[in-house]
């Protein structure tokens, strides 16, 4: 894969905005020092971001002699971003300002048997409409909607190729969604959403190579390498959940045996509990969330069964994370997503011990394992970040986001943006030449 001049420029644009969001206000000189870019490059990129009204000039720095340095800060109200986290059991949507502060939230439960694509699309459209209305932002200010769908996705075509828990195959998800939503749309999956959230706003920001281990119903490892998300040649990198950990072990829905996911995903943890104590009151058959909550509660009160389940789970998880550390030699491993958040420090402690037993000395010494510090849902934050990246990527391009099949204006009963206000194909680049009224 050739890394073209355009790729490098886009990566540098991300890097500079990321730094401004983290450290507003800041000067071009500080940005150059923090990013390793030349002052001239930083000045050009800052100029672009000012033109986009993503950042603003906010005065001058006191300087001990010498010329005063101009300061810039993120222009929080310069636009809005929407992140959609579609999980196996719920749809969660958040609307953010450009400082990535949450302005509004909406949730929809997904009941078993209501996971047909059209049903999910309807729920997403309703929730997106709700957050826009709640936040009271003008439709024209919504720069994009990032959507995370579990499983394997084709980012370019907006197709959900394979979502094992719903048995979705080749669902043209963004095309369906485009019937209802008029903003630029971006599709990806939770493991990469969690990774990009850590890279921009979490534990991986400004750090060396990081692995973001995503523990939910499914399991994955987002790879933040060389300061950017490693996507692989067809955007499917990170499918660590299907690493063989126990040859000929538990059957996985992927068709293989012994995958990491079957031991450390929420259903796998339930199975660990079932094998240890088949009649445990902690076990809520058919309800992953309730079981993990019950385990978390029992851990807090020192329940020995809960502790043993976490230890067993950490043994598998630790072996799998050791493999990642030995292979990739990262500076950081971040435990993310809802299972990690619920089981928290007790899980982290056990994982650290298991990793120390399994990992080679040199990579072990270079790495640190932490819980995600992101206080809100990392998947919707990451999904919104994909929309932000899309907006930054479209600078100077005509089209940045997914285009649906229909050539005419978007249609449909729950279409969110008022007709004529914004077209789905509106990009930041276009709004620069014709700013929204």
In the bound complex, what is the minimum distance in angstroms from residue 320's beta carbon to a second copy?
Answer: 8
User: Does 323 engage in binding with a second copy (CB under 8 A)?
Assistant: yes
Instruction: For residue 349, give every residue at least 6 positions away whose Cβ sits within 8 Å of its Cβ, in sequence order, or none.
Output: none
Judged by CB under 8 A, which of 44, 256, 271, 425 binds a second copy? 256
Judged by CB under 8 A, which of 62, 136, 279, 365 binds a second copy? 365
Which listed range, 75-83, 84-92, 360-368, 411-419, lies at the site for a second copy (CB under 8 A)?
A: 360-368
In 3D space, the residue among 268, 277, 283, 284 whose CA is nearest the CA of residue 304 turns out to be: 277
Give 113's DSSP letter: T
Gap between the Cα atoms of 223 and 229, Å rounded: 6
Gap between the Cα atoms of 54 and 75, Å rounded: 5
Nearer to a second copy among residue 231 and residue 430 (C-beta)? 231
Q: Which of residues 6-25 bind a second copy (CB under 8 A)?
A: 8, 11
Does residue 40 contact residue 7 with C-beta atoms inside 8 Å? no
Site string for a second copy, 99-128 (x = CB under 8 A): ------------------------------
Angle at 436 between CA 432 and CA 437, to 5 degrees: 135
Q: Write the CA distances from 126 to 154, 389, 403, integer angstroms.
A: 24, 24, 20
Gap between the Cα atoms of 338 and 215, Å rounded: 7
Nearer to a second copy among residue 3 and residue 279 (C-beta)? 3
Q: How many residues bind a second copy (CB under 8 A)?
A: 64
User: Does 272 engage in binding with a second copy (CB under 8 A)?
Assistant: no
Does residue 433 contact residue 396 with C-beta atoms inside 8 Å? no
Which listed range, 139-147, 241-249, 288-296, 302-310, lies at the site for a second copy (CB under 8 A)?
A: 241-249
Does residue 416 contact residue 182 with C-beta atoms inside 8 Å? yes
Nearer to a second copy among residue 90 and residue 162 (C-beta)? 162
Give 257's DSSP letter: B
Q: Enter the tokens of residue 26.
A: 């800041």
Which listed range, 78-86, 108-116, 243-251, 277-285, lies at the site for a second copy (CB under 8 A)?
A: 243-251
Nearer to a second copy among residue 102 and residue 260 (C-beta)? 260
Judged by CB under 8 A, which of 249, 287, 371, 412 binds a second copy? 249
User: Does 396 engage in binding with a second copy (CB under 8 A)?
Assistant: no
The single residue listed with the structure tokens 């809802």 is 338
Judged by CB under 8 A, which of 29, 235, 414, 423 binds a second copy? 235
The two most distant CA atoms of the chain are separated, in Å, by: 74
Q: Bridge-partner residues for 187, per DSSP? A: 147
The single residue listed with the structure tokens 């894969």 is 1
User: Does 73 engage in binding with a second copy (CB under 8 A)?
Assistant: no
Residues that bind a second copy (CB under 8 A): 1-5, 8, 11, 35-38, 41, 152, 154, 161-162, 207-209, 221, 223, 225-227, 230-240, 242-247, 249, 254, 256, 316, 319-320, 322-324, 326-331, 358, 360-363, 365-367
């Amino acid at each position: 894969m050739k890394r073209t001049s355009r790729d490098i420029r886009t990566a540098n644009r991300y890097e500079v905005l990321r730094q401004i969001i983290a450290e507003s206000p800041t000067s071009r000189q500080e940005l150059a020092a923090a990013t390793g870019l030349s002052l001239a490059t930083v000045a050009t990129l800052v100029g672009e971001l000012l033109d986009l009204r993503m950042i603003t000039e906010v005065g001058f720095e006191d300087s001990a002699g010498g010329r005063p340095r101009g300061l810039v800060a993120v222009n929080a109200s310069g636009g809005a971003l929407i992140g959609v986290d579609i999980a196996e059991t719920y749809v969660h949507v958040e609307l953010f300002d450009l400082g990535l502060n949450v302005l509004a939230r909406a949730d929809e439960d997904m009941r078993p048997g209501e996971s047909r694509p059209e049903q999910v699309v309807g729920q997403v459209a309703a929730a997106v409409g709700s957050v826009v209305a709640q936040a009271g932002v003008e439709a024209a200010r919504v720069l994009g909607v990032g959507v995370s769908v579990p499983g394997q996705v084709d980012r370019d075509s907006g197709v959900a190729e394979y979502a094992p828990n719903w048995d979705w195959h080749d669902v043209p998800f963004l095309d369906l969604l485009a019937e209802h939503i008029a903003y630029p749309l971006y599709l990806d999956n939770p493991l990469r959403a969690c990774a990009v959230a850590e890279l921009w706003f979490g534990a991986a920001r400004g750090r060396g190579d990081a692995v973001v281990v995503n523990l939910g119903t499914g399991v994955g490892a987002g790879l933040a390498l060389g300061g950017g998300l490693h996507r692989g040649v067809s955007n499917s990198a990170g499918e660590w959940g299907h690493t063989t950990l126990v040859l000929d072990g538990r059957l996985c829905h992927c068709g293989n045996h012994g995958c990491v996911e079957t031991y450390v995903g929420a259903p796998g943890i339930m199975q660990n509990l079932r094998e240890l104590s088949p009649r445990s009151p902690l076990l809520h058959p058919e309800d992953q969330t309730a079981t993990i909550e019950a385990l978390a509660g029992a851990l807090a009160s020192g329940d020995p069964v809960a502790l043993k389940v976490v230890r067993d789970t950490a043994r598998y998880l630790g072996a799998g994370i050791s493999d990642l550390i030995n292979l990739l030699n990262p500076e950081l491993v971040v435990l993310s997503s809802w299972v990690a958040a619920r089981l928290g420090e007790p899980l982290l402690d056990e994982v650290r011990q298991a990793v120390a037993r399994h990992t080679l000395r040199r990579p072990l010494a270079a790495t640190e394992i932490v819980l995600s510090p992101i206080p809100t849902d990392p998947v919707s934050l990451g999904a919104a970040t994909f929309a932000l990246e899309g907006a930054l990527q479209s600078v100077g391009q005509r089209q940045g986001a997914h285009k649906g099949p229909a050539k005419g204006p978007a249609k449909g009963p729950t279409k969110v943006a008022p007709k004529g206000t914004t077209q789905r194909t509106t990009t930041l680049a276009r709004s620069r030449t014709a700013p929204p009224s």
